[in-house]
Amino acid sequence: MNRIITAYSVLHDNKVIVNGRLLFYQENITKFADFVKAVFKQEQFSYPKFYKMDSISKLGFLAAELVLKEKTIAGYSPLEVGMVMSNSSSSLDTDITHNETINNRSAFFPSPSVFVYTLPNIIIGEVCIRHRIKGENAFLISETFDGNLLCDYVDELFNNERVAACLCGWVEVLGDRNTAMVVLVENSEQSQVSERSGLKPMLFNAENLNFIMKRN
């Protein structure tokens, strides 16, 4: 059974691309925080907890939210939907922030709100809570984006009937580096491509994941 990509988003360099179309770009934005806030407001998402998340969770949350705005998963039960994400730096960006709160022993004040984000799979948790996803999930670490690694892992979940749909991709934030790419993968016999944009069917494979990653 073939798997297809039914929706995707890419966020990088102050740009948002969804299913091949440019959804957002503001050249004058210089701060990551301003970028994610502007995208959140433009798309009129309503989720107050967004503002409490760390940077990488905000980016991953937006990427997933944009995909699921294009293609609903409402037809699946919560246990049928999985999520597999990856990056190269884990939660290092937040780890550095947390370390700054405990470095100065004379002003020692570790922040619980920062500490809770010092694991990369918190990104998955935020999306799963938002969309009531209860299926298989994993966060993979690789030196660079590895489409083969993602495809092999997600294909195994489908082949073993652990998922009927899966969000997967790459979310990286470290200093000035920030890139997210998220796709929704479904069985070709069970789904149609994005309801809103007329996305042409794309097989779920490493070649197409690499192609989407370069759409920025």
Task: Kindly report the number of other CB atoms within 10 A of residue 127's CB atom.
Answer: 23
- The average confidence (pLDDT) of the chain is 87
Q: What is the pLDDT of residue 174?
A: 84
- Between CA 44 and CA 95 the distance in angstroms is 30
Query: What are the DSSP calls for 91-112, one per residue?
Result: THHHHHHHHHHHH-GGG----H
Q: Give the rounded percent of residues in the chain with a pLDDT score beyond 70.
A: 80
pLDDT digits (tens, 9 = 90+) for 134-185: 999 999 999 999 999 999 999 999 999 999 999 999 999 888 789 999 999 9
The letter for the amino acid at 115 is: F
Residue ranges of domains in the chain: 3-213
pLDDT of residue 156: 97
Nearest-angstrom CA–CA distance, 17 and 66: 9
Q: Is 127 helix (H, G, I), strand (E, B) or coil?
A: helix
Q: pLDDT, tens digit, for every residue of 33-45?
A: 999 999 999 999 9
User: Average pLDDT, stretch 5-23?
Assistant: 95
Quote the pLDDT of residue 62: 98
Distances (CA, A) of 27 to 43, 59, 83, 97, 175: 18, 18, 32, 27, 19
Q: For residue 122, what pLDDT is reported?
A: 85
Secondary structure (DSSP) of 15-48: EEEETTEEEEE-TT---HHHHHHHHHHHTT---G
At residue 9 the predicted structure's pLDDT band, cuts being 50, 70 and 90, is very high
The architecture CATH gives domain 3-213 = 3-Layer(aba) Sandwich (3.40)
Q: pTM of the predicted model, to two decimals?
A: 0.87
